[in-house]
Amino acid sequence: MSESTTQASRAATPAGGDTPGNRWLILVAGVLVQLAIGAVYAWSVFSKALTSDQAFGWSKAQATVPFEVAIGMIFLGSFIGGRIQDRRGPRVVALTGGVLYSVGVLLASFSTASSFWLLVLGYGVLGGFGLGMAYIVPIAMLQKWFPDKPGLITGIAVAGFGFGAVITAPLGQRLIAQTPDVPTKAFLPLGIGYLVAILIGASLFKNPPAGWTPPGMAASAATGASAPATRGRPDVDPVSGARDFTADEALRTPQWYLLTLILTISVTAGISLISVAAASMNEVAGMSTAAAATLVGVLGLFNGGGRVLWGWLSDRIGKMPAFMGILGIQGVCLLLIPHASSAALFGVLAALVYTCYGGAFGTMPSTAGRFFGVKNAGAIYGLMLIGWSLGGVIGPLLIAALIGKDKAYTLGFTVVGIIALAGLLVPLVTRKPASHDVAVAREA
């Protein structure tokens, strides 16, 4: 056996006797955590119950506040959690975030018609902050375990988040039916379930040992064939040869802002449809309320599946071509949706939008890792999630204002579709930071 082969074999085996096969167990654990926190996307089930005269009789605007607060807190949680993760490791952050999220949901179960503030504090503030902390962890961690397929793996991880609502929505509906006059009681068993799932999953989280590489990549990494000019440098990824930026250094590059803008535009486009999906199915395509509700549930599968599909595809065709596809398909479909009088055509177009909406979340983590390295991926991508919060607020407000009382769906979807198509210019001008960009960022 040659010396280089022996070195490759050693590089492929982590310290402490662990084998590379354990990374698949860690992937399953990451998906389990994402399934639990992804339940936040099932809020519409609870919102509808809270507005019922049989329950609290709140207005639609009031019933939306806890969800909006939770989405807004995600960025703060992911920002803080990402920075701690890069210093203390993934397990402690995921466990802390998961416990905060679960406790927030449990606290929400004690809210009543006269304690609106308790629901906002528990589900919105505490739950949203914990969600953000837990969300960023597997995304950053798994890129270190799977440098050979980062797009696919992060896509699978965040697909768990998309599928979380598919599981929680029908379960939550059954629990609400048991106490329809106090629908918040459903949060008690759900919070306990989330806590158990997160404790099991997060307890398995860990980073790979320094210098570890997957078996298929070991030879080139160990011999330095992938990046001979940078071999042995502590700020260089041993597999890809990419330099590792700190969060502060990444913020000094135009690429960080361009990637965040891509995510913001994609979220704005996709969530515009998501926020009015049921109503537009009924008033544009003529679907019944029951049929629209069923289709909304089915579309959640495309949201989750799109994260895997586009994450995998981006590894094959390139990150910027993938984002051009994501934005372009969303833009065209949004332009066509107000003219889709057929339920079948509306369903196909909506499925494509949901697939691309999820696809941006599946593709962006590995893109950030490829641009800035994975060592500080938690902090760098955690900061990028401000695009999620911005798009999550701008999209629903914009589409609601454009449609208005006149039900101007053509105007609303056309404007948002044009925004998505205009966004194609951003990936066209976005390039991976060159070597001199690192030096410039460090000198700034």
Asked if 194 contacts 101 with a C-beta cutoff of 8 angstroms, the reply is: yes
Token pair recorded at residue 380: 């760098």
Report yes or no on 5 lying in a domain: no
Boundary-marking domain end, from 180, 202, 224: 202
Output the pLDDT for position 367: 93
Output the pLDDT for position 231: 44
Placement of tokens 């799977």 in the chain = 146
Output the pLDDT for position 435: 55
Q: What is the dihedral of CA 63, 66, 71, 74, to 10 degrees?
A: -170
Asked if 359 contacts 162 with a C-beta cutoff of 8 angstroms, the reply is: no
Are residues 152 and 286 located together in one domain of the fold? Answer: no
Report yes or no on 293 lying in a domain: yes
- Tell me the C-alpha distance between 29 and 336, whole Å: 40
Are residues 47 and 101 located together in one domain of the fold? Answer: yes
Among 125, 126, 82, 121, which residue's Cα sits nearest to residue 102? 126
Output the pLDDT for position 437: 52
Are residues 189 and 260 located together in one domain of the fold? Answer: no
Output the pLDDT for position 422: 97
Report yes or no on 229 lying in a domain: no
Asked if 205 contacts 90 with a C-beta cutoff of 8 angstroms, the reply is: yes
Are residues 156 and 262 located together in one domain of the fold? Answer: no
User: DSSP for 159-212?
Assistant: HHHHHHHHHHHHHHHHHHHHSTTSGGGGHHHHHHHHHHHHHHHHTT--PPPTT-
Rg (CA), the chain: 22
Boundary-marking domain end, from 202, 236, 270: 202
Are residues 88 and 29 located together in one domain of the fold? Answer: yes
Are residues 269 and 183 located together in one domain of the fold? Answer: no
Are residues 249 and 381 located together in one domain of the fold? Answer: yes
372 φ/ψ angles, rounded to the nearest 5 degrees: -120, 5
Asked if 100 contacts 36 with a C-beta cutoff of 8 angstroms, the reply is: no
For the chain, counts of helices (H) and of strands (E): 21, 0
Report yes or no on 239 lying in a domain: no
Report yes or no on 4 lying in a domain: no
Number of separate domains in the chain: 2
Report yes or no on 226 lying in a domain: no
Are residues 372 and 303 located together in one domain of the fold? Answer: yes
Asked if 304 contacts 166 with a C-beta cutoff of 8 angstroms, the reply is: yes
Domain that holds residue 155: 22-202
Are residues 134 and 281 located together in one domain of the fold? Answer: no
Output the pLDDT for position 8: 39
Are residues 195 and 263 located together in one domain of the fold? Answer: no
- Tell me the C-alpha distance between 188 and 183, whole Å: 10
Are residues 268 and 381 located together in one domain of the fold? Answer: yes
From first to last of its 444 residues, what are the pLDDT tens digits of the chain? 444 444 434 444 443 334 445 888 999 999 999 999 988 878 878 887 888 888 898 887 788 888 888 888 888 998 898 888 878 889 999 999 999 999 999 999 999 999 999 999 999 999 999 999 999 899 889 888 888 888 888 888 888 888 887 888 888 888 988 999 999 999 999 999 999 999 999 999 998 887 777 776 654 443 333 344 444 444 555 444 557 898 899 999 999 999 999 999 999 999 888 888 877 888 888 888 678 777 877 888 898 899 999 999 998 999 999 999 999 999 999 999 999 988 999 999 999 999 999 999 999 988 998 999 888 888 898 889 899 888 988 888 898 889 888 888 999 999 999 999 999 999 999 999 875 455 455 544
Boundary-marking domain end, from 202, 232, 254: 202
Are residues 122 and 251 located together in one domain of the fold? Answer: no
User: DSSP for 213-227?
Assistant: --HHHHHHHHHTTT-
Report yes or no on 7 lying in a domain: no
CATH at 195 = 1.20.1250.20
Output the pLDDT for position 438: 52
Report yes or no on 219 lying in a domain: no
- Tell me the C-alpha distance between 389 and 80, whole Å: 15
